[in-house]
Amino acid sequence: MMKNARKSRALGLVVLGAGLLLAAIPASAGAASNCAGAPGIGDTYYPTYGNGGYDVSRYKLKVAYNPTTDRLDGRATLLARSTQRLCSFNLDFVGMDLHRVTVDGERAGFSRTDHELTVVPRDDLKKGKDFRVTATYDGVPQEFAIPGTDIRTGFMATPEGATVAGQPEVAAGWYPVNDHPLDKASYAFDVTVPKGYEVVANGFLRGFKKKGKQATWSWRANEPMASYLATIDIGHWDVTEGTHAGLPGYDAISSEIAGGLRAEIDSSMARQGEILDVLSNAFGPYPFKTVGMIVPNQDDLFFALETQTRVVYSKLFWLDNEGNPVDDDGVVVHELAHQWYGDDVAVGRWQDIWLNEGFATYAEWLWEEHLGHATPAEIFRATYESIPADDPFWQVTIGDPGIEDLFGDPEYVRGAMTLQALRERVGDDAFFAIIRGWAASKSGGNGTTPEFIALAEQISGQQLDDLFDAWLFTAGRPELPAAEAARARATTPDPTWLNQVRQRLAVGRY
What's the average pLDDT block by block, 10 residues per block, for the chain (510 residues)?
55 30 36 81 96 98 97 98 98 97 98 97 98 98 91 94 96 98 98 97 97 97 98 98 97 98 98 98 98 97 97 96 93 98 98 98 97 94 92 97 94 97 97 98 98 98 98 96 63 55 44
Write down the pLDDT at residue 17: 30
- How many alpha carbons fall within 13 Å on the CB side of residue 442? 26
Sheet of 204-211: strands edge to edge? Answer: 106-107, 97-103, 130-139, 71-82, 54-66, 185-194, 214-225, 204-211
- Distance (Å) of CA 161 to CA 65, 154, 219: 9, 14, 18
C-alpha to C-alpha distance for 328 and 315, rounded to whole angstroms: 10
Query: What digits encode the pLDDT tens for the residues 151-172?
Result: 999 999 999 999 999 999 999 9
| CB-based burial label for 466 (10 Å; 0-12, 13-18, 19+) | exposed
C-alpha to C-alpha distance for 42 and 349, rounded to whole angstroms: 9
Nearest to 226 by CA among 103, 150, 132, 309: 309
Write down the pLDDT at residue 500: 56
Give the distance from CA 89 to its chain's centroid.
26
For the CA atoms of 117, 151, 329, 344, the dihedral, rounded to the nearest 10 degrees, stands at: -20
Q: Are 293 and 252 in contact (CB under 8 A)?
A: yes
Q: Are 269 and 251 in contact (CB under 8 A)?
A: yes
Where along the chain do its domains lie? 5-15+17-337, 345-507
Strand 109-112 to 237-244 pairing: unpaired
For domain 345-507, the CATH architecture is Orthogonal Bundle (1.10)
Write down the pLDDT at residue 481: 78
C-alpha to C-alpha distance for 83 and 37, rounded to whole angstroms: 9
Q: Are 141 and 67 in contact (CB under 8 A)?
A: no
Write down the pLDDT at residue 483: 60
Is-cis flag, bond preceding 168, omega within 30? Answer: yes
Q: Is 492 helix (H, G, I), strand (E, B) or coil?
A: coil
Write down the pLDDT at residue 33: 64
Q: Are 463 and 457 in contact (CB under 8 A)?
A: yes
Q: What is the CA radius of gyration of the chain?
A: 23
Q: Is 306 helix (H, G, I), strand (E, B) or coil?
A: coil
C-alpha to C-alpha distance for 3 and 110, rounded to whole angstroms: 37
- The chain-wide mean pLDDT, for the chain, equals 91
C-alpha to C-alpha distance for 299 and 313, rounded to whole angstroms: 12
Alpha helices (H) in 299-389, listed in sequence order: 330-340, 354-370, 376-386
Query: What digits encode the pLDDT tens for the residues 120-146?
Result: 999 999 999 999 999 999 999 999 999
5-15+17-337: in CATH 3.40.50.300: no
Nearest to 75 by CA among 105, 101, 45, 49: 101
Strand 293-295 to 247-254 pairing: parallel
Dihedral of alpha carbons 403, 408, 412, 414, sign: negative
C-alpha to C-alpha distance for 339 and 353, rounded to whole angstroms: 14
- Pick left, alpha or beta for residue 69 (phi over 0 → left; psi -120 to 50 → alpha; otherwise beta): alpha
C-alpha to C-alpha distance for 101 and 157, rounded to whole angstroms: 27
Q: Are 196 and 161 in contact (CB under 8 A)?
A: no
> What contacts 24+ positions apart, CB below 8 Å, involve 491-496?
491/378, 491/381, 491/382, 491/385, 493/373, 493/374, 493/375, 493/378, 493/379, 493/382, 494/373, 494/374, 496/373
